[in-house]
Amino acid sequence: MEYIIDDMRKWTEEERAMYAKQSQLMFTLNHTMPGTEDYSEILKEIFGDRLGEGSMVMAPLYGAAINNITIGKNVYINNNFLAMARGGIIIEDDVQIAANVQVITNNHDPYERAILTCSPVTIKKGAWIGAGASVMPGVTVGKYAIVGASAVVTKDVPDYAVVVGNPAKVIKTLDADRF
C-alpha cells in the first residue's frame, strides 16, 4: 500500500493559504443556490479541470485537500460529502455517491498527531456508494461495485461486488454481463 507522510508542522505559508482558500470556497459553495450559474462557477473554481463533464457535487461539501480529488464524467455526489483527500481521491466515470458519505485518505500518527499518514482511495467506474458509508484510507472500490448504506469499507472491494456492514463484507456478486 502506498503511504504519504505529511507533517502539518512543516506546511509552507503558500500551503496554508491554499487550504484556507479551499475552506472558503467550500463555505461559499455550501451557501449558494444549487443549479445556478454561480454554483457551477464555484464548483469549477474548487475542482478546475478535475471535475468531469456532466458531473455534479451537491452542497454541502466538506473536507480537506480538495485539490487532491479527481472526479470523472457523469458522477453524482449527493449532500454532505466529506472528503479527507490528503492522500488523493480518484472517482472514475459514472459513479454514484449517496448522501452523508465519507471518503477518508488520512489518519494521524498515534504519537505525533501533527503527522498525517495518507493512502489514496480509488472508486472505479460505475460504483455506487450508499448513504452514510465510510471508505477508509488505501481502499479501491471496484467497477460497478455497490457499497451498502452505513458500511465501513476497510479493504478493497472487488469489481461487481456488493458489500455491507462494519467492517464491510461481500454478500454477493453482480452479473457483469448486465452492465
Inter-CA distances, 93 with 5, 14, 59, 133, Å: 29, 32, 20, 19
DSSP one-letter code for 160: T
Q: What is the pLDDT of residue 144?
A: 98
Count the domains in the chain: 1
Digitized pLDDT (tens) for each residue of the chain, 179 residues in all: 678 899 999 999 999 999 999 999 999 999 999 999 999 999 999 999 999 999 999 999 999 999 999 999 999 999 999 999 999 999 999 999 999 999 999 999 999 999 999 999 999 999 999 999 999 999 999 999 999 999 999 999 999 999 999 999 999 999 999 99
Domain that holds residue 63: 4-178
The C-alpha torsion from 13 through 14 and 17 to 18, rounded to 10°, is -150
Catalytic residue, from 45, 108, 176, 179: name it: 108
- Dist. CA 59–CA 1, nearest whole Å: 32
Q: What is the pLDDT of residue 9?
A: 94
**114 and 9 Cβ atoms separated by less than 8 Å:** yes
CATH of the domain at 166: 2.160.10.10
pTM of the model: 0.96
Q: What is the pLDDT of residue 1?
A: 63
Does the annotation count 31 as an active-site position? no
According to DSSP, the residues that pair with 57 across neighbouring strands are 77
